[in-house]
Amino acid sequence: MTEPLLSVRDLRVTFPTPQGPVEVVKGVSFDLGQERLGIVGESGSGKSMTGRAILRLIRPPGKVTAEKLAFQGRDLLSLPEREMRALRGARISMVMQDPRYSLNPVMTIGRQIAEALRVHENLSRSATRARVRDMLEAVQINDPDRVANMYPHEVSGGMGQRVMIAMMLIPEPQILIADEPTSALDVSVQAQVLDLIDTLVKDKGMGLILISHDLQLVARYCDQILVMNAGRVVERCAAGELDKATHPYTRGLLASVPRMNEDRDTLPTLDRTAWEGT
């Protein structure tokens, strides 16, 4: 068997609080190959913390432990910060949930994407500009030259998400962790952006961790799905089998999605007592 790109065993994230330490990720384990793994789950269930922990982006006083956290066999937890920094953005990149606030506010978008490209390859100025332009076009930005000259606060919510994706994809990372990457986009643009990511998975063998609250989207764009609740993985299934999910929590999530032909007056919400203690 070949070694997975990423191997995670018993990952835990803990924060101190006035009431004592709170574990927000409680022993998550999975392997990621050259494939697409979806993570879904309720708000606050630990999805973003899992993604950030892999890149060691949990801010102190938060603490990360794991029995194993390895990228292509290299232990990430013991890697010196300098090497970790070199890895981030180049080999493993992460699209953050708040894109406009994760971008540098005082640098134009074009320059930020160009810098991300520079860690990957050294190109002339005009070649760099052309690549940045192509990348913006690939994420469906209609007027790439105008947008390249804008600052992050000048782009719309959905444009900000696509700029972040462009910046994370341009160095052709081996793993992309995408945290709600398309939550501000309408279905057709969303599909075009996810198709682009898909192409990189298929053609370049990139591994994808797609964090999303959109169950349909994860079912369509992933191979495997982890369902998280209160810091734990409560269900694992093949993406095609999501509608056959058995955990009451997963069933509850599926029921609360509004439909195009909505005639319910109130939406069903989760009865949290149904699985408490599981």
With CB under 6 A as the contact rule, the residue among 15, 31, 191, 196 that binds ligand ATP is 15
Of 101, 121, 127, 157, the residue at the interface with ligand ATP (CB under 6 A) is: 157
C-alpha–C-alpha distance, residues 157 and 254, integer Å? 27
Helical pair 125-138 and 157-169, crossing angle rounded to 10 deg: 130
Contact between 43 and ligand ATP by CB under 6 A: the answer reads yes
- Please answer whether residues 30 and 4 qualify as being in contact, where contact means their C-beta atoms are separated by less than 8 angstroms: no
Q: Report the residue closest to ligand ATP, judged by CB.
A: 158
Q: What is the dihedral sign for C-alpha 95, 101, 103, 108? A: positive
As a whole number of angstroms, the distance between CA 270 and CA 249 comes to 7
Q: Which of 156, 238, 243, 278 binds another protein (CB under 8 A)?
A: 156
Task: Determine which residue in the list 48, 112, 182, 250 makes contact with Mg ion, applying CB under 5 A.
Answer: 48
Chain center to CA of 89:
13
Least Å distance, CB 59 to another protein, is 7
Least distance to another protein from the beta carbon of 154, Å? 7
Told to check if 154 binds ligand ATP by CB under 6 A, we report: yes
Candidates 119, 184, 196, 254; binder of ligand ATP (CB under 6 A) is 184
Q: How far apart are the first and last CA of the chain?
A: 33
The entry of Mg ion, ligand ATP, another protein, none near residue 267 (CB within 5 to 8 angstroms by kind) is: another protein
Q: How far is the CB of 13 from another protein (least distance, A)?
A: 12
Nearest Cα to Cα of residue 84 among 124, 57, 110, 121: 57
Q: Which does 33 bind (CB under 5 to 8 A by kind): Mg ion, ligand ATP, another protein, none?
A: none
Question: Where along the sequence are the contacts to another protein (CB under 8 A)?
Answer: 15, 17-19, 40-45, 47-49, 59, 97-98, 100-101, 142, 154-159, 162, 180, 183-189, 191, 213-215, 252-253, 256-262, 264, 266-270
Q: What is the contact surface with ligand ATP in residues (CB under 6 A)? A: 15, 17, 22, 24, 41, 43-49, 62, 97, 153-159, 184, 213
